[in-house]
Amino acid sequence: MTANHAEKILEVRGLTKTYGGEAKKGAKQPTPTLDVLKGIDIDIYRGDVVCLIGPSGCGKSTFLRCLNRLEIPTGGSIKFEGIEVDDAHIDAVRQKMGMVFQHFNLFPHLTVKQNLCLAPELLKLKSKEEASKRAEELLARVGLSDKANVFPKSLSGGIARALAMDPDVILFDEPTSALDPEMVGEVLELMKELAHTGITMLVVTHEMGFAREVSNRVIFIDEGRIQEDEPPQELFSNPKHPRLKAFLSRML
């Protein structure tokens, strides 16, 4: 079931993503390859609230990141509001497509920018100045420059920032997975209110209660493909795919 069959907002056809296979300088062999997305076809309609579920490593983040070209797809096509999501159109697309990041692996006692600088500095890949400049570029690229100096737990601020562009779609990648437990309810409540405004949302989540209560479609991704795409009542009460059954029995 979709919110409005007339208004298709996203059209994904034959989307594939393979990591690796690069020829490294001096190396005899290219890096090993990993086929993460093996052909994703999906239509998203205006007002849809889609929850994406599936085992860790199945490609949920990769899929979201391909939608706004933070990852370059290996094959297939993505159209957003009729516009091809490619290098030529990506700036226009990103203005109408907000993204709220997963806060996995961020240190709560460091600011967003300090978190971004940490690894390149520790690994001595970059000087302090270079790391700082790169972090600022990254934040600017995703429209979060003004969040550089806040601590990552203020995720509601990140959601507010994503909304400031008045996007037509917001992509959420496990928005609550790394929050302090007392923050989770607040963020889920905020997302529920958002859903009720009619904005289109794609949410990668392990919060099955949220998926059941707030979404109109739940999509199960496994082995590089969409295995089920059903209203939550149907998907949770009558899972068909054996791997979905196994996944749900671990989650619930």
Binding site for ligand ADP (CB under 6 A): 19-20, 34, 36, 54, 56-62
For residue 61, state whether it binds Mg ion (rule: CB under 5 A).
Answer: yes
- Partner that binds at residue 57, options Mg ion, ligand ADP, none, CB closer than 5 to 8 Å by kind: ligand ADP
In the complex, what is the shortest distance from the CB of residue 229 to ligand ADP, in angstroms, rounded to a whole number? 16
In the complex, what is the shortest distance from the CB of residue 235 to Mg ion, in angstroms, rounded to a whole number? 20
In the complex, what is the shortest distance from the CB of residue 44 to Mg ion, in angstroms, rounded to a whole number? 19
- Partner that binds at residue 36, options ligand ADP, Mg ion, none, CB closer than 5 to 8 Å by kind: ligand ADP
Structure tokens at 215: 């979404």
Element (H, E) at 94: helix 90-96
Q: Which residues contact 9 (CB under 8 A, 6 or more apart)?
A: 44, 45, 46, 48, 80, 81, 168, 169, 200
The values of phi and psi at residue 145, to 5°, are -55, -40
Could you give the 3-state DSSP secondary structure of residue 209? Answer: helix
How many chain residues are in contact with Mg ion, going by CB under 5 A?
Answer: 1
Instruction: Choose the binding region for Mg ion from 36-44, 56-64, 105-113, 187-195 (rule: CB under 5 A).
Output: 56-64
Choose between 61 and 227: whose C-beta lies nearer to Mg ion. 61
d(C-alpha 41, C-alpha 38), whole Å: 10
d(C-alpha 99, C-alpha 80), whole Å: 14
Choose between 64 and 144: whose C-beta lies nearer to Mg ion. 64
d(C-alpha 109, C-alpha 36), whole Å: 33
Choose between 1 and 72: whose C-beta lies nearer to ligand ADP. 72
Binding site for Mg ion (CB under 5 A): 61
